[in-house]
Structure 1
């Protein structure tokens, strides 16, 4: 039953990656955290949040690359929004993963909830998200937005085990992009977060005092990773026909609704 739930979760991550830019963290972290918390192995239950976050970043590599390929073929990616922002996000991701290793699982959980609450409030209260900015052409990101935004997105996203889409999507949305374009761009921008985060967790896990077992590399649960990845392949395939077909306003509202559901799930945990 555990792996059936993970397969369904993987399918959801594939769908969310293609349609909303969520590489997996906002689905994988809450579910895997709750499952591992009830483990009979004390080492695993005590490391539940770290395992959930590390495995999430690993799954995001696959989801983000698959979704990016789909959106590239659909013509939704705009190069100057991806670089150098993606490079700064990767640098920030290393800092975020290092910070997460020094923090307790419970503090990461509360940070995850607070992050979601602030993002939801920002999307609802600040102009430019629920309705696409009325401008003839989208503006480019400024230098400060690229440097500060990239480092901040990378650090926060990797600390929490998410792809950073809840920061990149609102940022690009306020540049005048449609929800389809903004969520499309979130996938390739999640790749440096996923790569840097996974490699950092693997490197730093050697300092852990816990022996999590043979099916773990560092904090990454290999069995969970395989099952989630197989499920995500199906999810990507199911969601691909819907690229660009969701009305912009509805797309934005559903995006916020998903954030609310994830936050409530983590509060319940």
Structure 2
């Protein structure tokens, strides 16, 4: 199990730095499947497998997005003037989303994850802007739109443990960003969600007297989190050399392809 987690942690780091996602879309289905295989569906951990996967994924994202943000900062691909206004609203939305997730049945949470993926893929394929070559002329948003989108992004991301990239990358693409810029901005925008969401999963689960044994704080599996973070660090270091080198339209197509792969995994498991 541990070597598998380490390997997928590396993959998480690669997709985090190059595509703005990886924590949730890789960790959630992987950890969900492993927990069911190791503990069975009738055990306490098995029954909470989806919540553990989502909470642990959210915790892993704190480290992955922070490391990826640093790499993009070094590469000069971040637009702080566009990122900064989003941060507080995403953090607020994350608290709402994590609270909602703890009150949902695990099966419903899994299907919410699947439906969210399907809608994102269809939106990216058929709504104008995502697959077109971009000149990176990003159009800013008015304050009210910033607030509503930020809370929505933070809420859905924490609810499903996927980070905000699956919403922010298509959003920034439609507003004129290149894939390099869109994925670069997805990482710092996911950081407040990851911090707020993780604390909420820990505190609310503790309040509800959820006890899953050693190496758990609330629903967060600390052992799995540590291994995934180490792997993620390796993946980010390896992939950092490719920042800004992938052609824009190819970058966008690979992003959609990866979403389709994760969708297939979640439907099968």
TM-score class normalised by the smaller sequence: over 0.9
Gaps of 5+ in 2: none
1:234 and 2:234 equivalent? Answer: yes
1:13-52 superposed matches below 5 A: 13-40=12-39, 42-52=43-53
Change (3 A) 1:40 1:133: closer
- Matched residues, number: 267
Structure-2 separation of matches of 1:192 and 1:21: 14
Residues 109-118 or 38-47, more deviating: 38-47
1:70-149 superposed matches below 5 A: 70-133=71-134, 137-149=137-149
Two-structure CA RMSD over aligned residues (Å): 1.3
Structure-2 separation of matches of 1:166 and 1:196: 18
Counterpart in 2 of 1:156?
156
1:180 and 2:173 equivalent? Answer: no
1:14–1:235 contact (8 Å) kept in structure 2: yes
Give the alignment's TM-score, normalised by structure 2: 0.96
1:29–1:161 contact (8 Å) kept in structure 2: yes
Gaps of 5+ in 1: none
Structure-1 separation of matches of 2:123 and 2:39: 40
Q: Displacement of 1:207 after TM fit?
A: 3.9
Counterpart in 2 of 1:258?
258
Counterpart in 1 of 2:198?
198
1:132–1:176 contact (8 Å) kept in structure 2: no
Structure-1 separation of matches of 2:208 and 2:263: 28
1:9 and 2:8 equivalent? Answer: yes
Structure-1 separation of matches of 2:210 and 2:84: 39
1:60 and 2:61 equivalent? Answer: yes
Structure-1 separation of matches of 2:268 and 2:4: 18
Counterpart in 2 of 1:165?
165
For residues 180-222 of structure 1, what are the alpha-carbon distances to aligned partners after superposition, in whole Å with 9 as ceiling and x for unaligned? 0000000000001100000000000124454311111111111
Structure-2 separation of matches of 1:147 and 1:133: 25
1:180–1:248 contact (8 Å) kept in structure 2: yes
Structure-2 separation of matches of 1:103 and 1:55: 17
Give the alignment's TM-score, normalised by structure 1: 0.96
